[in-house]
Each structure stands twice: as C-alpha cells, then as structure tokens.
Amino acid sequence: MSAPYIRPFENAPVQLLNEGATLFRRDDTVKKAFLVREGHVFLRRALSDGGLLTLHVATEGALVAEASLFADRYHCDAVTDVRTKVAVLPREKLLAQLANTTSSALSAFERTAKELQTTRMRIEIMRLKKVTDRLDAYLDVFGPPAVGAWVRVADWIGVSPPALYRELARRRLD
C-alpha cells in the first residue's frame, strides 16, 4: 500500500530542477506542496558561521518539507544536487484531499516515527567528537555509500568533505 499523500499527486504537473536549483528559500510563503518523483531535495539552513546544516533529504516518493504544509513560511532552503523532478500541487488542494483519507493519520504517524528515529540517530552520531567515530557509526548503520556519494556522508555526519576524505585515506593506509 502506498502512502495516502501520493495519490493526490498522480496527475499533478511535474517541475524539472537542474543540479543546484532552488525549489524554495527560507521565509518564502508556503503555497505549494511538492513530491519528489526522481532525484532528491535537500532541506538546508544556513548557519551563522557560514556553514550549512542539512535538516532532511527528500528522496523519490517523499514530500518535500511536509511540516511546512502547516506553516505560513518555509524554515529552510530546498535545493538539489542532481537533476530532480517534483510533482507540484497547491497546498490547500493536498490538505483537502488528505482530510478525506482515513488512513492518512496512521500513515503520517508511521513515516514521522521512522524519520524521528533517523534524526535521533543522526544527532547521536553528530555528538561523537572524532571523525573516525562518526564514520564508524554511520557505516555500522548504513554501510558504504554508492559510488560518488561520500560527500553526502560527510554532510550527514556533520564533517567537511576534506576531513572525511582524510579519514578514508588514513584507513586505506592502515
């Protein structure tokens, strides 16, 4: 059974986003709902020190910034790092259709619980002081990433790509 929020997007128009495109920015008014059809959308917030914090990565079949459906303004930026397709609906249309779906609450609760578990795990990993410990914890849970995806691992564990690559090089020498 697919999530009830997918059905309203079945005939929705699709927007193509090129690599590096911005879907919305922090403080933009929330008017639309987005479902990732292909690729992924990073929800990021700029930090005062100039860094970026990735709050979530919406992948194929996921809503983008679903919590924003109940907010007036977005609390982060939504950007892509690969060519991405998103289906687009007016926010009010999606909310109205979900209100008529009896399984919406349970499905949303289940998905939210899984995301909460992942977020808690990420926080615990990011609390580890050493890059080597963060990497070990990540690999224990997820295993090695796909080819070319180490930069996403660096972001996920909260270290710079150069710091991660130094750790990977050190491991190859050991």
| Mean pLDDT (whole number) for 95-100 | 79
pLDDT score for 131: 94
Q: What is the pLDDT of residues 10-26, one digit of tens each?
A: 999 999 999 999 999 99
Q: What is the pTM of this model?
A: 0.67
User: Which pLDDT band, with edges at 50, 70 and 90, does 49 fall under?
Assistant: confident
Mean pLDDT computed over every residue of the chain: 87
How far apart, in Å, are the Cα atoms of 136 and each of 98, 115, 144, 147, 153?
40, 21, 10, 18, 11
> Quick one: which of 61, 58, 100 has its CA closest to 79?
58
> Quick one: which of 55, 76, 74, 75 has its CA closest to 126?
55
Greatest mean pLDDT among 3-17, 49-63, 93-107, 152-166? 152-166
Poorest-pLDDT segment among 55-69, 105-119, 127-141: 105-119
Length of the chain, in residues: 174
pLDDT > 70 fraction of the chain, expressed in percent and rounded: 91
Tokens read off for 153: 């691992």
Residues forming a β-bridge with 79: 22, 42
